[in-house]
A and B are shown apart, each in its own frame.
Chain A
């Protein structure tokens, strides 16, 4: 039984490693060279292009809905919910 479990564990580890390798290999073929970052370097291409708008929106939706965070921390902060 223990031997079977060991084989299963080994199989799980091997498949996890394989998945991770495929993902990393996949990611390494994605992306750009440093001299191809002209568009990505623009302010409007930042993941949070307007932090002020994001902060104000988070406050509104935190106080009106039951979900928060996801993009950034959605912890405490105000007694509005």
Chain B
């Protein structure tokens, strides 16, 4: 009886979703393996992973991100992976200026209008809004016994940003496939076209470009103003990133596998953030001016990464450590751990803990002092300052009938910027200079 059981409507729906996606993928690729009810094996070759993620910082940034990834294994272990990512960002982020005992007025980064920040509040620019679409394709295949090659392409587009990338990787297995050595390289070309153009570093942001007092300050079109245009360099700028990676994977025994990577990254071009500014304060700590930030046009990063996975009787431990250092004098330690605990034959929970510690860039400073000469480079972006960050989360996953997987993930991320020893003159001693960020991350994933 069991063999003759007809599929239920629900099962049909699931099959239909997969069929539609399979058909869409094959049509897009122009392959001739169209979905055919008589060829269930062909149809089953495509597998899909999808996820929706919500990221919320409360009164700051909120992001929603959706991913769908399709993969298919062809004859001879040739593999194609395709991934589409769409995300939307909205909310407020710190613009770099310090809090003051009085109300502060800022020109929006686009030059269109101004906004005010209350006394004692860390200035947040609330014009942060963007939608991004990203597409990745990766082809992997064996090229000789024990040799696997992989090539990929990446394109990401948002309103004011375009990123194009290619990558290649070669892996060699030896010692009965217990050891793998890999070498990889990637190249990215990113173009930034911020609304209002690229600001001239260290020029005054200013707040009174337009002298027409009849205008409501919120509706001023500063982009047409000559004085405003004097603070702009060009409409767009770009940067290139070359990444090199050497990897070594080693099976230790039946229960344990390890990985070690060395990465070198060279970023060249426009690395300044056009939306970030610095307050210039006097000896009383009161803001006298705001200047656009300025970063070097080169950055060399290196990192060492080690990971171990251990299979206990039923639980699996995933432990990793990364040390990163660069020529901006930033260095960081990251420890990440996950423990997958089975609850039954088809469900599990996975607690996750991550710790991150970062030392500041040598040109990071929370504000500029009027009495000091202008440094060569300066940024008050807390993300290149000194900080500790923690992530604690839990994932619950289950295997559904038919082998499809459904999982839920809930995490809490806390960033705690700390002082790298900058003295705070006058009123700044009573202001919050290093404000923390707390975020909730919620995710649903479905694989079919």
Q: Which of A's residues lie within 8 Å of B, judged by CB?
A: 27-28, 30-34, 36-40, 42, 44-45, 47, 49-53, 55-56, 59-61, 64-67, 69-81
Contacts and interface: CB of A to CB of B under 8 A. Distances in A.
B437 A67 contact: no
Contact of B445 (A36, A53, A65, A77): A53
Interface in B220-275: 239, 241, 243, 245, 249-255, 257, 259, 261, 263, 265, 267
B67 A55 contact: yes
Given A39-B255, A45-B311, A75 B165 contact: yes
B307 interface: yes
B251 A40 contact: yes
Contacts of B324: 67, 70
Given A40-B254, A78-B158, A79-B161, A70 B175 contact: no
Given A44-B316, A47-B259, A65-B358, A56 B179 contact: no
B322 A67 contact: yes
Among A39, A51, A61, A76, find the residue whose CB has the most chain B CB atoms closer than 10 A: A76
B21 to A, nearest CB: 15
On chain B, which size bracket covers the interface?
35 or more
B441 A75 contact: no
A76 to B, nearest CB: 4
A31 to B, nearest CB: 3
Contact of A42 (B156, B184, B311, B413): B311
A45 B309 contact: yes
A79 B250 contact: no
B134 interface: yes
B257 A40 contact: yes
A39 B311 contact: yes
A53 to B, nearest CB: 7
Contacts of A53: 51, 395, 409, 443, 445
B210 interface: no
Contacts of B445: 50, 52-53
Contacts of A70: 261, 263, 303-305, 322, 324, 334
9 closest Cβ contacts across the A-B interface?
A: A31-B178, A79-B161, A76-B188, A70-B305, A70-B322, A75-B241, A67-B324, A76-B190, A75-B188
B179 A31 contact: yes
A31 B443 contact: no
B250 A27 contact: yes
B263 A69 contact: yes
A61 B55 CA distance: 12
A3 B312 CA distance: 56
Contacts of B156: 77-78
Nearest to B189: A76
B430 to A, nearest CB: 27
Contact of B154 (A38, A42, A61, A77): A77
B415 A64 contact: yes
Interface string B76-98: 00000001010101000000000
Contacts of B320: 71
Given A31-B250, A56-B67, A73 B243 contact: yes
A28 B134 CA distance: 42
Given A52-B51, A76-B165, A76-B188, 10 more contacts: A30-B178, A31-B176, A47-B309, A60-B55, A64-B389, A67-B358, A69-B243, A69-B265, A76-B163, A77-B134
